[in-house]
Amino acid sequence: MKILVINCGSSSLKYQLIDMDDESVIAKGLCERIGIDGSVLTQTVPGKDKYVIEQPMPSHNEAIKLVMDALEDPEHGVIRSTDEISAIGHRVVHGGTSFSESCVVDENVKQVIRDHFDLAPLHNPANLMGIEACEAGMPGKKNVAVWDTGFGMAIPEKAYMYAIPYEYYEKYGIRRYGFHGTSHMFVSGEAIKFAGLDPKAAKVIVCHLGNGGSVSASIGGKCVDTSMGLTPLEGLIMGTRSGDIDASVVQFICNKEGKSVDDVLTILNKKSGILGLSGGVSSDFRDVEAAAAEGNHKAEVALEAFAYRVAKYIGAYTAAMNGVDAIAFTAGVGENDKKTRKNICSYLGYLGVEIDDEANDVRGKNAVISTADSKVKVLLLPTNEELAIARETKRLTE
Ligand code: AMP
C-alpha cells in the first residue's frame, strides 16, 4: 500500500510517497515558489539523481499535476500510474475544537478548515488548496486530514482556558489549542514503545525543539498540556518567536515606536526568539552557538534563556502530571544539539535526571541519553510527521 503525504504552505508543497509495507520513503519532493515567478519542483528518490523541474506553477493545482508527472516519470519516477497510490494524507494546521482525531475529508471537513482560516491564516487556506488540488488531480481517491491541533484537543479546560472574559471564548473560540500535534503524538507514542513504558499510564514530556518549538505532557498517550496557545507564538523561546511574554509589551512597543498591533505581532513572530535575543546573530542555533563560542554575550544569553525556558516547562509539566517517566527530545535542535540537551537537563537534578555524556553524543537516531541510574529516562527520538500522517491515512482508509 502506497500513501502520498502532502504538506502545503502558501507558496510551497512538500510531498512524500511512503510504502506502508515497510514504511520506507519511495520518493520525496518539494514544490517551491508556487504562484510566483521561478516555480521549481525538486524530487529525491533513493538511488537516483535529483530530479528538478522548473516550470510555472500558478497555483497548487499545477503543482499537484507536476508532482504526479514527477512520480510517474519513466526515468526519474517511482510508479507507473497514480492508480498505485491508495490514499493521500494531508497535514492540516487548524481544526479548531471540531476535530481531535484525523478524518477522511468530506464537505463538512473542508468547511471546518475554511471556518478556521482566521485562526491559521497562513496555513489553513494553503492546506485546503492542497486537498482540492488532489481532489481535482486524482479524483476518487480518499484524502485524509491530520490536524496539527488534534493531539492538543485532549487537554482539559483548566489547561486550555485563558483567564480573560469568558465571552471571548464563547464568541470567538479564544483558548489554547496547541500545535506540532502530529509530532507530539508520534514521539510520545515512540517514547512509550522505545522505553518500554506502560502504554496506559506512562507520563511523557516531549520537547519538540526546532525552528518552532513546543513542549507537551501526556499520560498514556493522551495530551494533558502543551505549550503553544491560540497561535504558535506562546510557550518556548523559538528561532524567531518570542514565546511567552507579558501582553503589555505589545502596547508598550506600539506607543513608543508608533507601530500597529499587527506590526508588533510580526516582530514577535519573525524577529524575536533566538534571533532577537542574540542581537540579530541568527535564528539558527548553529550560528548562535558559534557566536557564543567566540564570546558574544547576547548569543550566550540567548542560548541560556532558551534552555532555561524549556527546563521551566518540563518542571511545570512534571507538576501537572505529578511525575514524569520519560522526557524525549526531538526536531532539529532536539535531535542534533547535545549541548542544548545537556544544558536543559542540568536543571533537572531534582527529578533524579542524570545524562550519560557518551550516550548523549548522538544525532538523529533513537537513543536513551540518560544513565542507567537516572530516575527519569531521557530519550532522543527523531520525529517523523510524514510517517505519522501516512499511518493515520492508512488506518482510516484501509
Ligand atoms: P526544524 O525546524 O526541526 O527543521 O529545526 C531546524 C533548526 O534545527 C535549525 O534552525 C537549527 O537551529 C537547528 N539545528 C539543526 N542542526 C543542528 C545542529 N547540528 N546543532 C544545533 N542546532 C541544529
Which backbone phi and psi does 62 adopt, to 5 degrees? Answer: -70, -35
Amino acid at 226: T
The CA distances from residue 155 to 119, 151, 304, in Å, are 19, 8, 29
Strand partners, 218: 204, 223
Ligand 1: does its nearest atom lie under 6 Å from the Cβ of 210? yes
Residues 6 or more apart whose CB falls under 8 angstroms from that of 39 comprise 31, 32, 33, 54, 55, 56, 57, 62, 63
Q: Please give the pLDDT value at position 121.
A: 87
What does the pLDDT look like over 191-231, one tens digit per residue?
A: 999 999 999 999 999 999 999 999 999 999 999 999 999 99
Residues 6 or more apart whose CB falls under 8 angstroms from that of 21 comprise 1
Distance 133 CA to ligand 1 centre (A): 31
| Radius of gyration for the chain, computed over Cα atoms and rounded to the nearest angstrom | 21
pLDDT averaged over the chain?
Answer: 97
Amino acid at 290: A
Distance 239 CA to ligand 1 centre (A): 9
Q: Which three cell numbers stand for residue 361?
A: 553524543
Residues 6 or more apart whose CB falls under 8 angstroms from that of 121 comprise none
Among residues 49, 148, 225, 361, the one annotated as catalytic is 148
Q: Is 187 helix (H, G, I), strand (E, B) or coil?
A: helix
Q: How far apart are CA 27 and CA 10, in angstroms?
A: 22
Ligand 1: does its nearest atom lie under 6 Å from the Cβ of 233? no
Q: Is 262 helix (H, G, I), strand (E, B) or coil?
A: helix
Pocket test for ligand 1, best of 12, 187, 333, 340 (most atoms within 8 A of CB): 333
Q: How far apart are CA 241 and CA 232, in angstroms?
A: 9
Active site residue 37: no
Q: What is the DSSP pairing of strand 222-226 with strand 213-219?
A: antiparallel
What does the pLDDT look like over 237-271, one tens digit per residue?
A: 999 999 999 999 999 999 999 999 999 999 999 99
- The count of residues in the chain is 398
**pTM for the whole structure:** 0.95
Distance 368 CA to ligand 1 centre (A): 20
What does the pLDDT look like over 65-104, one tens digit per residue?
A: 999 999 999 999 999 999 999 999 999 999 999 999 999 9
